[in-house]
Amino acid sequence: MPWTTPPFISGFLASGGDWKVVLLQIIIIVLTTLFYIPFIKIDEKVAKKSAKLNATA
C-alpha cells in the first residue's frame, strides 16, 4: 500500500475490505483532533497577546 493513499481508502484496502478498520481510522482521527484543540486555543491566545503588545509598542 503506497503511503500516499488516503487514510480511509488505505485502511479498507489493506484490511481486505473490512469496514471496521475504516471506523477505527475515523475514531483515531477524531480523538487526535480533539487532543490538539486545547493547544490550538492556547496558541491563539498567545498570538492575540503578542499582537496586542506589538500594537501598543
Cα 17 from Cα 15, distance rounded (Å): 6
**How many angstroms separate the CA atoms of 48 and 15, rounded?**
45
The structure's pTM equals 0.74
Write down the pLDDT at residue 56. Answer: 82
> Letter for the amino acid at 48?
K
State yes or no: pLDDT of 57 exceeds 70.
no
pLDDT digits (tens, 9 = 90+) for 1-48: 899 999 999 999 999 999 999 999 999 999 999 999 999 999 999 999
